A and B are shown apart, each in its own frame.
Chain A
Amino acid sequence: MILEVKGIRKSFGALEVLKGVDLQVDQGDVVAILGPSGSGKTTLLRCVNFLEYAQAGRLVFDGQPYDLSKITKKEIGALRRKTAFVFQNYNLFLNKTALQNVTEGLIVARKTPKAQAVEIGQKALAKVGLSDRADYFPSQLSGGQQQRVAIARALATGPEIIFFDEPTSALDPELTGEVLSVMRDLAEEGMTMLVVTHEMGFARNVSNKVVFMEDGVVVEAAPSKEFFESPRSRRTRDFLQLIQQE
């Protein structure tokens, strides 16, 4: 198991968003987190990468346990070095070119020599099919291209797991396809991914596990095939029915 979360709790003021969530991710897993808006999916992902601080819970990464309520800056730094994050609205560095976006974390945070970083960066951009856009600024790229640069940026640092927070929600259907196809390639290469998504096709066909959340708890966690074909919980069945009607 590469990542395990146990009993994670998070409140914003009086609003309890995560009410004790458990999650397990094995090496090579592609886990889709599904659920209606406001179910806590994004908050869960952000807590796991410390963009939000959970009030309680345990996290085991690579066999190393951490207490989420009293995690130190140093531990956060160490964990972030092994993970990467892809945002819904890309969050590319606006003052950097596509290539610089990809190399920044290598050169600044990991002190990789520049020539080597550029080489890694170019490979990462080639992987997402954007070698010819290396010198473009984010403002000169389409949403789909920006998100692919963001995926290249995530890949460049050689993470053990990549977190995706609704990576296609800001894109129109045409551009969604190009991003999903990059993600499918990664999955086939065995990249471990934890993906908050509304893309049922991706959850069904690419991911091997599905976690269904509602109201801050996990309602059902199952292998994708099982989840879609024989859901155990009544709530899951309702959700799937609603989706299929759309």
Chain B
Amino acid sequence: MAQPRTLYDKLWDSHVVHKDEGGASLIYIDLHLTHEVTTPQAYEGLRLSQRKLHRTDKTIAVPDHNVPSTPDRLEKIDDPESRLQLDTLKQNSDDFGVEYIPMDDIRQGIVHIIGPEQGLTQPGKTIVCGDSHTATHGAFGALAFGIGTSDVEHTLATQTLSMQKSKNMLVRVDGKLSVGTTSKDLIMAIIGRIGTAGGTGHVIEYQGEAFSDLSMEGRMTVCNMTIEGGARAGLIAPDEKTFEYVKGKPRAPKSEAWEAAVKYWQTLKTEDGAIFDKEVVINAEDIIPHVTWGTSPEDVLPITSVVPNPDDFDDPNKKSRISRSLKYMGLEAGEALEGVAVDKVFIGSCTNGRIEDLRAAAEVIKGRKVADSVEMLVVPGSGLVKYQAEEEGLDLIFLAAGAQWREPSCSMCLGMNPDILQPGERCASTSNRNFEGRQGRGGRTHLVSPEMAAAAAVTGHLTDVRKVVNS
């Protein structure tokens, strides 16, 4: 009998075009998402070598990173380099025949939000993008991973990538998440457990009740941050929730094709007895709301904790890294995380810029006011998310509380548009990375869930959202 296969094995096997003697395989790519930052040099390469796209129907382009989040964004992009990069995406897409979603289209948004929204993201596909958060799409049982610009060029020219197969890793979370604990807390707790290199060389499959209970939005948040645990891709086997989400989306299969697709998608799960190279098991009930205290996503603790003390660690690397982080973050060892004052609150990004995230934050903010000392930005992940939120009146809730309601963009997640932190400013952020300088030189980032971000906005400091909603 054949060795039982994991979901990753199945997705890999079904896309192998060719195997070379050196151990690399040529993998077929079903969907290539492109944006303005990591494509200009790829198209330049194609021009220099006089190549064209192998095919144009599996690539889509959308501007996101440099797009301002302000209402006048169509007329006004102050930074000439941002403008040039955005214009270059449009020009290259036109020249090479790639479908392009312009900034004034309601479908425009963060590339990882629009893929699922348009129904382009489907179970069983291989999906790449010149962005590490491509892992997001693994929530659908698609093999999705970030690539560099050379691989963008390779994909454009050949619709394939040459790669080595990763190992299989299982993260199983048993039991149910407690009230007030979200998919963001779940993935941050996992990263805290495995570390930022815990998944290196592996593809992680998430199994267990905690994940099957999550909505598709929640699963996307989990898979999105898989790269923060070092794995290029995260996977959740598709189920009825997945099919329900995809059904009826503009680019989803229709009628007979839909039936055939679902039949195939139902086979996309790890077989009993399949072997994982690495396994981690966590109990969901042990997880409470989390917050990062340092400058790596693995520097994460429950909100009830205190800032760690470098002296408590024996490993000299760890000791010096914590000291450096605390200095950068302006925190003292032993200081309670609860109560650390914030200057800004950012809700948005490919991690937490979907409708469910905005609903959750609005629920906490509703009837409360953003603290006077805090500036709060709410940036929907796409034009469609923004439209839906406005239909539900969420914009009015945020505005009434004193928050700013912005236009879709990657915005303050990485500050390629004008939304950045000033040196020393502290931010409770729903984004994915708290690296030094990520949100602006000298800026201090605390990663949190949308609910925790909203709670920080109303109290003016990091706090346990469960206390705020119960007050």
Q: Do A and B come from one complex?
A: no
List the interface of chain A (C-beta within 8 A of B).
none
